[in-house]
Amino acid sequence: MTDVDLDAEQYEKNREAGEILAQVRNEAVEKVEVGASHLEVAEWAEDRIRELGGEPAFPVNISIDEEAAHATPSIDDTSTFGEDMVNLDIGVHVDGWLADTAVTVDLSGNPELAEASEEALEAALDTVAPGVETGEVGAVIEDVIEGYGYNPVVNLTGHGLGHWEQHTPPNIPNRAVDQGIEFEVGDVVAIEPFATDGAGKVREGSDEEIFALENDGSVRNRQARQALKQITDEFRTLPFATRWLDTSRAEMAVRRLKQQNILHGYPVLKEEDGCLVSQKEHTIIVTEDGCEVTTEL
């Protein structure tokens, strides 16, 4: 198979992942309501992805209020939605080719904060073209969010999407930066503005439910060995949730694998002032005259 054929096949899988993801995102939004279960919404979305022919690229993130990323329910999570600002961040892969999207569902009565990240994304997508620098896109995002009276979250960025890799270059900042990388035709990237009524930075919290393979290794414990085999075979280097593991005593198995530096964790990221965060994200393929959004129906 030639490189041209291979590229065409890859992009078709990116598009297929995006189409599945757009449908699941839109359906999942309808399930986010006061009283609904976080765990049931996450598991429903992950199962729906599989029903439609994809695989989750990472556990469904359900971030509440000051949470910005990496929050997913545990296996015994009993949380339900209240009058919250809810960010749903969902990923799909088809044979390792990815799509990534996010949307804010505002149950908190702060619609303008959700609108700020949404408008910033639309403006960013209008800016993307071959030769445009990532910093120019960041400047547009910052300008729109500040125009609403809010701040962008400056230590979170958009990112490239690789084969079995959720985060690759280039990073797409959410503020103006002097130096950036020029977009090229064929780049597959996720652009994700975050807006907040706080200072605009996130910090790591103590909760951690998402992990990924970092290094090869071996362990003596039987449950840890079983977990490692499943992780290596099914998820490869993509993030997974402890609740996805089939082994008994999964939490213990993950803890052992992390202690031996075989896994790394993703702590929940929270706005450092405890303020609300909204998010909107699409995956795009850069084209000769702009970009193609793969996560829109």
Residue in this structure with the two tokens 């994200």, named with its chain if needed: 281
DSSP state of 229: H
Q: How confident is the model at residue 97 (pLDDT cuts 50, 70, 90)?
A: very high
pLDDT > 60? residue 27: yes
Q: Which residues are catalytic?
A: 89, 100, 159, 167, 192, 281
- Listed as own residue / partner, the contacts of 215-220 with beta carbons closer than 8 Å and 24 or more positions apart are 215/261, 215/262, 216/262, 217/257, 217/260, 217/261, 217/262, 219/256, 219/257, 219/260, 219/262
Q: What is the mean pLDDT of residues 31-46?
A: 98
Alpha carbon distance 22, 34 (integer Å): 23
pLDDT over 80 (residue 4): no
**CATH for 210-266 (1.10.10.10, 1.20.1090.10, 3.40.50.12780, 3.30.1490.190):** 1.10.10.10
Residue 36 has which token pair? 């609904």
Summarised one tens digit per residue, pLDDT across range 182-227 is 999 999 999 999 999 999 999 999 999 999 999 999 899 999 999 9
6, pLDDT greater than 60: no
Query: What is the three-state SS of 200-225?
Result: CCEEECCCCCEEEECCCCCCCCHHHH
What is the three-class DSSP state of 112? helix
CATH fold for the domain made of 3-203+274-293? Creatine Amidinohydrolase (3.90.230)
For the cut 90, the answer to whether the pLDDT of residue 96 exceeds it is: yes
**Residue in the block written with tokens 């309501």:** 33
Confidence label for 69 from pLDDT (cuts 50, 70 and 90): very high
In the chain, CATH 3.90.230.10 sits at 3-203+274-293
pLDDT average, residue stretch 32-53: 98
- In the predicted model, what is the mean pLDDT of the chain? 96
